[in-house]
Amino acid sequence: MTSTLTVADRRRAALERRTASAAPARSAARVKSQTAKSLRSKTLPARRRPLLQPARQATKSAWTTRGKLGPPPGTFYVIAGIVAVFVMLGLVMVLSASAITQVNVGNSPYAVFGRQAMWAGFGLIGMIFATQVPYTVWRPLTIPLAVLGVGAMAAPFVPGLGVSINGARSWIRVGGFSMQPSEFLKLVVVIVAADLLTRRERGMADPTRTVLPVAAIAGLAAALCLVQGDLGSAIVIGAIVLSVAWIAGLPMRQISMLGFVAIAGALIFVVSSPRRLSRFTAFTDIEAHKEFESYQVYQGLVSIANGGLTGSGIGGSRAKTGFLPYAHSDFIFSIIADELGMIGAAAVVGGFIVLVAFGVQTALAAPDRFGMLLAGGISAWFGVQAIVNLGGVTGLMPVTGLTLPFFSAGGSSLFVSMFAAGLLLSVARRVPRR
Cα–Cα distance for residue pair 423/97, rounded to 1 Å: 30
Residue 402 has, within 13 A of its CA and on its CB side, a CA count of 30
Residue 4 is assigned to a structural domain of this protein: no
Nearest to 109 by CA among 127, 95, 128: 95
Hey, what's the torsion of the CAs at 122, 125, 130, 134, to 10 degrees?
-150
Residue 42 is assigned to a structural domain of this protein: no
pLDDT at residue 228, as a whole number? 86
Cα–Cα distance for residue pair 131/134, rounded to 1 Å: 7
Question: Cβ contacts of residue 287 below 8 Å, gap of 6+?
Answer: 294, 298
CA distance to 9, 362, 404, 425, per residue, from 135 (Å): 92, 13, 25, 9
Nearest to 87 by CA among 348, 384, 353: 348
Contact between 304 and 394 under an 8 Å Cβ cutoff? The reply is yes
Residue 11 is assigned to a structural domain of this protein: no
Cα–Cα distance for residue pair 59/65, rounded to 1 Å: 10
**Which residues form the domain of 405?**
72-429
Alpha helix (H) ranges present in 365-404? 369-393
Residue 218 is assigned to a structural domain of this protein: yes
Residue 372 is assigned to a structural domain of this protein: yes
**Helix orientation angle between 211-227 and 231-248, rounded to the nearest 10 degrees:** 170
Cα–Cα distance for residue pair 389/407, rounded to 1 Å: 11
- SS3 (DSSP) at 315: coil
pLDDT at residue 12, as a whole number? 63
CB atoms within 10 A of CB 284: 11
Cα–Cα distance for residue pair 135/421, rounded to 1 Å: 12
Cα–Cα distance for residue pair 201/220, rounded to 1 Å: 22
Ordered per-residue pLDDT tens for the chain, 434 residues: 444 556 556 556 655 655 555 455 455 555 455 545 554 444 434 444 443 344 344 333 333 334 567 788 889 999 999 999 999 999 999 999 999 888 888 888 899 999 999 999 999 999 999 999 999 999 999 999 999 999 988 888 888 787 777 667 778 887 777 888 899 999 999 999 999 999 988 877 788 888 899 999 999 999 999 888 888 899 999 999 999 999 998 888 889 999 999 999 888 988 888 888 888 888 888 888 888 888 889 999 999 999 889 888 888 888 888 788 888 888 999 999 999 999 999 999 999 999 999 999 999 999 999 999 999 999 999 999 999 999 999 989 988 888 999 999 888 999 999 999 999 999 999 887 66
Contact between 300 and 404 under an 8 Å Cβ cutoff? The reply is no
Cα–Cα distance for residue pair 408/283, rounded to 1 Å: 21
Nearest to 351 by CA among 80, 125, 130: 80
**Domains: count for the chain:** 1
pLDDT at residue 11, as a whole number? 53
Contact between 199 and 193 under an 8 Å Cβ cutoff? The reply is no
Q: What share of the chain is helix, strand, coil (3-state, %, to 5)?
A: 75, 5, 25
pLDDT at residue 49, as a whole number? 42
Burial, 347: exposed, middle or buried (Cβ in 10 Å; 0-12, 13-18, 19+)?
middle
Amino acid identity, position 301: L
Residue 308 is assigned to a structural domain of this protein: yes
Amino acid identity, position 383: G
C-alpha radius of gyration, the chain, whole number: 35
pLDDT at residue 117, as a whole number? 95
- SS3 (DSSP) at 403: coil
DSSP letter assigned to residue 282 = G
CA distance to 44, 50, 140, 334, 393, per residue, from 290 (Å): 87, 84, 51, 16, 14
pLDDT at residue 1, as a whole number? 40
Dihedral of CA 51/57/60/63: which sign?
negative
Residue 418 is assigned to a structural domain of this protein: yes
Cα–Cα distance for residue pair 332/314, rounded to 1 Å: 13
CA distance to 76, 156, 317, 332, 342, per residue, from 314 (Å): 30, 37, 8, 13, 14
Contact between 373 and 427 under an 8 Å Cβ cutoff? The reply is no
Say whether pTM exceeds 0.85. no
End-to-end CA distance of the chain: 98
Residue 61 is assigned to a structural domain of this protein: no
